[in-house]
Amino acid sequence: MTVSIPFKAAVLVNSISALDDAFSAAFQECISSACPGAQVDFFDPIEAQIYPEPGQYDLIVLTGGTADAMAKDVHWVLKMQDFLRTTVEKCPTQKIVGICWGHQIIHVTFGGVVGPMDKFEVGVTPITLTSAGSSFFSSYLPSREEYKVHEFHEQEVKTPGKGFIALAEDNQSLVNATNTILTLQGHPEMSAELSKLLLGDTPQYKGVHAAAKEALEFKINSSHDGSAIWKRIIHWTGEV
């Protein structure tokens, strides 16, 4: 796939929230920082249900969200799966990145299973790379063994989609065998400020005692590899 000039990214915003504008701004900033001059267009698959035209963008990004990725009766979720299957069939070189919920819906679409975790994962978390992941990310990260990224989720991929290769342990990051779909459970676009805004509306943490809040604050404010991951994503977009 030849990358266009300017680089063009389509971002599917898979949530309806008061913070959607803040997250859209974060995606705009991260993609533009990794690829100066990039054109970033945003699409609403929930209410407007408008999708980008595959092949017209170098990269299609599926954001996080709160819907049940395993739902069988949510029209827009099923339509998202149809879009993914049709894109892979009719535009097999299209590069797609799924983040958090986007990561989960991709794996469900292609035969995987998503289910609840035993805890709510929040804050900057070290993610252990597999040997394939070390090769994939190593030139962009300070470590060949792990990357650090903001997490904010209570569902996880239990079984990956068919034909996906693990780049990180515990299904935290995978790429398909044809190198066209990359998924990450973590949020490379997220900042400490965004994480705190999300946490403010999270019932599980409203009554947390002072020591736990202090530990969580430290974790949220820790350094992470989000910028490096976005640079790798942009470079990967041009790979065959």
Domain boundaries, given as residue ranges, for the chain:
8-237
The pLDDT, as a whole number, for residue 205 is 61
Three-class DSSP category at 76: helix
Active site residue 89: no
Residue-level pLDDT at 216: 85
Rounded Cα gap, residues 56 and 194, in angstroms: 30
Q: Which residue among the candidates 100, 107, 150, 156 is catalytic per the annotation?
A: 100
**What is the crossing angle of helices 20-34 and 192-199, to 10°?**
160
Catalytic residue flag (residue 53): no
Nearest CA among 198, 185, 134 for reference residue 157: 185
The residue annotated as part of the active site, out of 146, 151, 156, 189, is: 189
What pLDDT is attached to residue 203? 58
pTM here is 0.95
The answer to whether 75 is a known catalytic residue is: no
pLDDT at residue 240, as a whole number: 86
Q: For 8-237, which CATH class?
A: alpha beta
Chain-centre distance of CA 27, in angstroms? 11
Residue 204: the pLDDT is 58
d(CA 232, CA 212): 34
* pLDDT given for residue 144 in this prediction: 94
Give 13-57 as a DSSP string: -----TTHHHHHHHHHHHHHHHSTT-EEEEE-TTTT-----TTS-
**What does pLDDT average to in each consecutive run of 10 residues of the chain (240 residues)?**
84 91 96 98 97 97 97 97 98 98 98 95 97 96 96 97 98 98 98 89 62 85 98 96
